[in-house]
Structure 1
């Protein structure tokens, strides 16, 4: 039986010790850790680097010196935000498995991995509860002026009037539009059911039947934006939907409606949203994601009184971060044991003759 050799590269969000513990629990029977360390230990630098990679892809990053130094004999690379580019694969000629403990794959060149016969794993839904909790919280924070009231008290005021004072809603009986019905969107719908909302969904990849089974109504994008009292975005960013929430779509929203974005900033035309808020064409917005992070000091959002802003923290809970390396390692172990991995991204690799031959040596 051939043994795996792993490079584990954590970062400021999930340090390498988390991946090390997950390997020892689930994958130690299959091989050893060749090296474990942190790809980017600085929190501030990590926020910038990961956002740039999410916008431009992993090829913008040079191959990390840790990979160049430690990776030449390794067959497994695991991490969170490590940029896995073609140059990383060049530096790891025996690489057969890439695992990232997040749902997003912006930091992995999956096409190149598939071409080279390298199997890629991610962790779908690792922070779905965290983000869905936060999205519902953002709806309430914005429409009920929770954050603004707190700031007023901190500033020695006792504020009782706000931009929406003439029309402060309750969630009960309102129409909530969910854009994207994956793990997060489904949980948002489930949690909103306790508020007795009317929930409509747009997701071209989800069947109408599955949406109805969740107690929601499938609609097209224009109907969702024109009928919803709250629109919450949970779609993954692609070339096809970049900037899809544009001036035209925002113009279809009710003047009393709110936009919530805990997904990706790139889904929304930022200038169009600023204009809609400034002109009070919509009642408000709550945003956890921005085109530039940290948000620019001269951002026009900072001058608005009908928006709630947070620091890209929707998915950052201790539970989600701590558990994700273990979910990843467990799934890879299940695959090695019986082929049952549920988080495999590029299943075409399973038919690659070279990969199949390598896998046989691992399973003997």
Structure 2
């Protein structure tokens, strides 16, 4: 068996580089001659700003991480969480053959450029699916049942019993829930809501009939989902095609007593249109964990509203979601190196790239 010359692991404030080491030792150490482990961004607040800007503008806005130097030119694998894998990084690592990120989102990876250069890209689908699906259901309850508002009132010395939806406080049982995006997270939301005897509507252009039958949900158009749902929860991946897919037109279709939940991507939603919808009380309320600008500014208009629950982009942040993801990534790369069938390859066409095929053969032989 051949050896990979070098691997570079670049952690950050959310998953430090050293937290990758146990997974590396377990899955990849036998395949790699040398490894560099460090951190791309160690300041939590700076990381939140930088990763959000990359999500909006792509990885090319970032410079090559200072962690990488001339001695890393022979690195053939790079791994991390939010580190930007841009064309600049690829130029700095001319021998690169595999780039892996411990997250489902690919906003920090220039996949198109990687594919052109014969670099295979891995992500980790479903690493925080349990966490986000739990949180989405939690936000439905917190917003519709005024849990956070009642808590805040008590903290401020008020025994509050009246809220903006007091005339029509709902229970989840037998309500219609619309799920936008039916990947790992959307499926888990559907499964967890089954205990409430809800009817589940799904809008996802890429979902297949078998999946719909397996989960007992109903596939509908986006328009029908917005018209018929009592709760709408967003779990679609952000792409150039669906950016801003939910705006004034969609909000006007919603029932007056309905709720909108977003624990997915802020870029899917026109937040100005949502603000107007909430301010004019066209819908009962919203629960939001993601925002166009993070942290939310003190002057943000959403803060003034009494029919929205706001959280600090924490839906996917559980101990298990973070600690398990390096292992999921590296185990999948190990599958490739051993001739197995990986689950998380993003650009499978790279497997037919002549240079990549030659490299992989040399490692397997």
TM-score by length of 1: 0.99
1:83 alignment counterpart: 84
- Determine the C-alpha separation between the residues in 2 that align with 1:280 and 1:258: 11
- Determine the C-alpha separation between the residues in 1 that align with 2:34 and 2:86: 21
1:148 alignment counterpart: 149
Query: Mean alpha-carbon deviation: is it higher for 108-117 or for 60-69?
Result: 60-69
- Determine the C-alpha separation between the residues in 1 that align with 2:52 and 2:69: 23
Query: Mean alpha-carbon deviation: is it higher for 5-14 or for 28-37?
Result: 28-37
- Determine the C-alpha separation between the residues in 1 that align with 2:361 and 2:28: 17
State the aligned residue count. 364
Residue deviations 1:47-78 (CA, integer Å, cap 9, x gap): 00000001100000011121234521111000
Please report the RMSD computed on the Cα atoms of aligned residues, expressed in angstroms. 0.9
2:8 alignment counterpart: 7
- Contact 1:131–1:314 (CA under 8 A) maintained in structure 2: yes
1:113 alignment counterpart: 114
Q: Secondary structure at the match of 1:184?
A: helix
2:36 alignment counterpart: 35
| 1:224 correspondence with 2:225 | yes
Q: Could you list the runs of 4 or more consecutive aligned residues of structure 1 that deviate by over 2 angstroms after TM superposition?
A: 68-71
Residue deviations 1:223-267 (CA, integer Å, cap 9, x gap): 000000000000011111111111111000000000000000111
- Determine the C-alpha separation between the residues in 1 that align with 2:240 and 2:342: 28
Gaps of 5+ in 1: none
- Determine the C-alpha separation between the residues in 1 that align with 2:104 and 2:196: 28
2:93 alignment counterpart: 92
- Determine the C-alpha separation between the residues in 1 that align with 2:25 and 2:178: 43
- Determine the C-alpha separation between the residues in 1 that align with 2:207 and 2:126: 16
- Determine the C-alpha separation between the residues in 2 that align with 1:122 and 1:326: 12
- Determine the C-alpha separation between the residues in 1 that align with 2:222 and 2:321: 30
1:65 alignment counterpart: 66
1:74 alignment counterpart: 75
Q: How does 1:260-299 map to 2 (within 5 A)?
A: 260-299=261-300
Gaps of 5+ in 2: none
- Contact 1:7–1:70 (CA under 8 A) maintained in structure 2: no
Residue deviations 1:140-159 (CA, integer Å, cap 9, x gap): 00000000000000000100
TM-score by length of 2: 0.98
1:355 alignment counterpart: 356
Q: How does 1:328-343 map to 2 (within 5 A)?
A: 328-343=329-344
Give the C-alpha shift of residue 196 in structure 1. Answer: 0.5
- Determine the C-alpha separation between the residues in 2 that align with 1:276 and 1:80: 35
